[in-house]
Amino acid sequence: MSPDQDEATGWTVPVHTGVLVLASGEAISGFGFGATGAAVGEVCFNTAMTGYQEILTDPSYAGQIVTFTFPHIGNVGVNDEDVETVDLESRSGVRGVIVAAPSGDPSNYRALRPLGEWLAARGIIGLSGIDTRALTTLIREKGMQNAVIAHAPDGVFDLAALRAEAAAWPGIDGMDLVPSVTAPARYEWDETVWRQAAGYGKRDGAKFRVVAVDYGVKRNILRLLAEAGCEVIVVPATTSAKDILALSPDGVFLSNGPGDPAETGKYAVPTIRELLERKVPTFGICLGHQMMALAVGARTTKMPQGHHGANHPVKDFTTGKVEIVSMNHGFAVDRDSLPANVTETHRSLFDGSNCGIALADRPAFSVQHHPEASPGPQDSHYLFARFVDMMEKARA
């Protein structure tokens, strides 16, 4: 921040170098950090206390400005191991980050650089020094807001232009954001999970072949599939069912991703339907869950504030257990629209929204939460074993 001198008092007054301008017209001033410039997106809040680097590199956040409710963001710095985009250097699509207070020098043995420096390198605009509790309350009461986040070192902003840009942005409802985050070409994945002192491993042999359709997949999902003994082939979001089946998969995985599932579903749902008709074992997460639901005739709806955090209680009706899960979604499957051949397997204990389904007449299931994100820390890892069991039965 650049200080100004108050002539009357002689005090040094900090200059506001950052601003959040809502589509409704309000301008909230703070202090910019990270990248400079302006970006438009949907403002959501995330209640996680840890994992900010994973959150800010999650492709599912494309088009969004993330407000952290936890005040101490950036205190452990960043490293090269916790990035969730497959390409370490690629941008996840997140438009900006809002925190209560700036962090000082990072304090962690894994830290390679401070958060602000890392954000600048990745082109992500940061804003600190605003009342994040008030902003969170606004989102809870009025829903996620379209806004522009801006950072100018001199503190000079054209607020009229920023208001016009925020008001003109159409919003994520009705927007297909998958093309901005999907893989450009097919590739194979063999990296397994991280272990203390050893780092990430490599898969040794494989029992099953899984084709993962990339709508914005996270690295740790692919690691857990490899850890479960799967040869993983990742394909772009627009890959046809014919091309997927030509790879002779034992199972298909439908990944997480950003945007409106109904829009992505215009090209993804026909592919999923054909795979389900062929009775290929299929497992979906997040956006993959929503599009599997669309493929069997259910509907999805936009949520007022979404679910973003690492502390969401979800009940698994197949086991009777309650799991603490990680979530990141702004759309939900309408549980009342599920057809008769679909069983609801998981439900949020916060608001009763649908969080999982299984097909009665096909080897397929999906969940709304992120089992790979490990908030439990391993409450939901059994889902990968469930997928393997499904492939085992189908093969038999």
Enumerate the active-site residues. 286, 370, 372
Spatial distance between the Cα atoms of 206 and 225, rounded to a whole number of angstroms: 10
3-state secondary structure 212-268: EEECCCCHHHHHHHHHCCEEEEEEECCCCHHHHHCCCCCEEEECCCCCCHHHHHHHH
Q: In what order do the strands lie in the sheet with 300-316?
A: 187-189, 230-236, 208-214, 251-254, 282-285, 364-367, 354-359, 342-348, 300-316, 321-333
Q: Which of 201, 174, 199 is nearest to 259 (CA)?
A: 174
Query: Is residue 178 left, alpha or beta, with left meaning phi > 0 and alpha meaning psi from -120 to 50?
Result: alpha
Radius of gyration over every alpha carbon of the chain, rounded to an integer in angstroms: 22
Please give the C-alpha separations between residue 276 and each of 1, 142, 315, 365, in angstroms, as whole numbers. 55, 39, 26, 11
Paired with 253 in beta bridges are 212, 283
> Residues 6 or more apart from 203 whose CB is under 8 A from it?
190, 191, 192, 226, 227, 229, 230, 231
Please give the C-alpha separations between residue 322 and each of 114, 308, 311, 380, in angstroms, as whole numbers. 37, 18, 12, 10
DSSP state of 386: H
Give the largest CA-CA distance in the chain: 84
User: Is the CA virtual torsion 191, 85, 210, 390 positive or negative?
Assistant: positive
